[in-house]
């Protein structure tokens, strides 16, 4: 059975003091939830990684990064490597988020290099794929997602539990507009089919695939009940510890 996963993407929000305060508020709200129930990951800004890791050490919550560079060291001003991230306690890293694709012009080729680097360095990539509103309206959603998946995983070998995929329709991120649970299930089932074709059915069945797109406590239950949706990559709703804890509990109780 696939493990349920809830990952928080804080984006460019919170300083170290705010991160500590968040943990102090968030952990008591989890109650008896543990790593057996589901995997919980918080991806803060780089400046908060070590602070968050230390604060979460005695809990079931893991720390992830929002990005990485594919080389382990060198003259790459402003970048951060896998060894640096693992040194800060990271177990996961977000790769190919739509904001990096569309705002920062990140290419499929570089996303592929980041996936390979994270796997080689024992970080679990949370690979993001998703279409824009125009692509969806032009009936290109499946084609776009298939191409993003194929290019990101070009010549990539992974085993069960070493990769997470997040489907994030670009038109539903930070807009207050959601894909319906049926829309999300349809695309996520398609992604699982593509993984089965590229690898095998067993690996596809074992790979967690998350939904991300204006997820909040009030709608998470409807998404998690779908057969192929294994959790969520949560943006703005994860910035509030109570809201995020309610999302976690909704998944745990489904």
Tell me which of 39, 53, 92, 97 is the catalytic residue. 97
Residue 3 buriedness (CB in 10 A; 0-12 / 13-18 / 19+): middle
* Distance (Å) of CA 109 to CA 50, 105, 216: 29, 11, 32
Q: Which of 159, 231, 165 is nearest to 202 (CA)?
A: 159
Q: Are 204 and 160 in contact (CB under 8 A)?
A: no
> Residue 61 half-sphere exposure, CB side, CA atoms within 13 Å?
29
Integer angstrom CA distances of residue 146 from 191, 194, 200: 7, 7, 16
> Is 168 considered catalytic here?
yes
Residue 227, number of CB atoms within 10 A of its CB: 9
Q: What backbone phi and psi angles, to 5 degrees, belong to 62?
A: -100, 165
For residue 174, give every residue at least 6 positions away whose Cβ sits within 8 Å of its Cβ, in sequence order, or none.
Answer: 214, 235, 236
In eight-state DSSP terms, residue 157 is -
Catalytic machinery residues: 97, 168
């Amino acid at each position: 059975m696939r493990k349920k996963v809830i990952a928080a993407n804080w984006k460019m929000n919170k300083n170290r003091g705010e991160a500590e305060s968040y943990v102090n508020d968030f952990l008591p709200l989890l109650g008896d939830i543990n790593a057996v129930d589901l995997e919980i990951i918080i991806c803060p800004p780089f400046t908060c990684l070590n602070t968050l890791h230390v604060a979460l050490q005695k809990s079931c919550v893991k720390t992830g990064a929002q990005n990485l560079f594919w080389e382990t060291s060198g003259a790459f001003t402003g970048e951060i490597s896998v060894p640096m991230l693992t040194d800060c306690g990271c177990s996961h890293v977000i790769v190919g988020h739509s904001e990096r694709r569309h705002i920062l012009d990140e290419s499929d080729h570089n996303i592929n290099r980041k996936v390979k680097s994270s796997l080689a360095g024992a970080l679990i990539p949370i690979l993001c794929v998703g279409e824009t509103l125009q692509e969806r309206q032009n009936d290109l959603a499946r084609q776009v997602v298939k191409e993003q998946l194929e290019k990101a995983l070009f010549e990539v070998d992974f085993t069960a539990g070493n990769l997470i995929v997040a489907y994030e329709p670009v038109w539903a991120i930070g807009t207050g507009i959601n894909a319906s649970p049926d829309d999300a299930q349809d695309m996520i089932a398609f992604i699982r089919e593509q993984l089965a074709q590229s690898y095998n059915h067993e690996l596809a069945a074992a790979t967690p695939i998350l939904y991300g797109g204006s997820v909040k406590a009030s709608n998470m239950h409807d998404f998690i009940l779908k057969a192929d949706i294994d959790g969520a990559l949560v943006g703005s709703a994860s910035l509030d510890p109570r809201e995020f804890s309610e999302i976690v509990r909704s998944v745990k109780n489904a």
